[in-house]
Amino acid sequence: MCAADAIVGMSFGAICVSGGLDWWVPVLMSLAVFAGGAQFAAVGVVLGGGGAVAAVVAGLVLNARLLPFGFAIADVLRGPWWQRLAGAHLLTDEGVAFVLQQEDPKARRSVYWLCGIALFTVWNVSVVAGAVAGQAIGDTGALGLDAMFPAVLLALVLPSLKDGTTRNAAVCGAVVAVAAAPFLPAGLPVLLSLLGLLPVARTLLRKETREEPRRETPAKTLEENNEKVS
């Protein structure tokens, strides 16, 4: 994962510099934003002639997916506010995927911090190297490097798909995202994929409703026995 991040980070730094931006722009952005997809989107808007506001909005749209990710792994962040703030800054797709494979709370926290610190370090060092290299690395799509992230993330997610409920939600979300991709700007199809949770949530609610009378039965039986004894 770090190797893939390093290659894409170098390409990001090189693309920024070759597009006319000063070398410190991708470096500062990587330190402050630390979100590859959002950084590429923002720089793409700027290099395409868009303004700063449009670039920020593009980055925020892509990063909005991190909100549900934060809910999913909120248990890994403990301690004072500054420590939780630092941990939130290290939140990435890859880190979440690794954490979700762990069940032990201690292991989840260790994996999260290990992935976060490692990826943050590798990403920023590689962006500096790419910025210095300038035009040494061209279009990531032409080299096929843009396929690295989806391939690695798919490999990380596959173990979670053994669960039927998770698999159904993932399939529904993927169908929604693919169907919306030709019609919506980048980032929005990913957010719309959260609609895949709706049919699954509905099924779980129905299941819980059916099981509710069974849960009440022992208490009711105990109450009847107490009345008989009285």
66 with 133, same domain: the answer is: yes
167 with 87, same domain? no
What domain count does the chain have?
Answer: 2
Contact 59, 85 (CB under 8 A): no
Residue 223: per-residue pLDDT: 57
For residues 183 and 89, state if they share a domain: no
Q: Domain range spanning residue 114? A: 2-161
Looking at residue 15, its pLDDT comes to 81
CA 136 to chain centre: 29
Low-confidence spans in the chain with pLDDT less than 50: 217
The answer on 46 and 34 residing in a single domain is yes
Whether the model pTM is above 0.75 = no
Q: Could you tell me if 17 and 99 lie in one domain?
A: yes
Residue 127, pLDDT score:
92
Distance CA 135, CA 142 (A): 14
Same-domain status, 181 and 152: no
Domain limit, last residue, from 104, 133, 161: 161
d(CA 57, CA 42): 8
Q: Are residues 168 and 154 in the same domain?
A: no
Please check whether residues 59 and 172 belong to one and the same domain. Answer: no
pLDDT at position 114: 95
3-state helix, strand, coil in the chain (%, to 5): 80, 0, 20
Shared domain check, 139 and 177: no
pLDDT given at position 11:
81
Domain boundary among 144, 161, 178: 161
Residues 136 and 45 in one domain: yes
Token look-up 């939780």 returns 84
The whole-number pLDDT of residue 149 equals 56
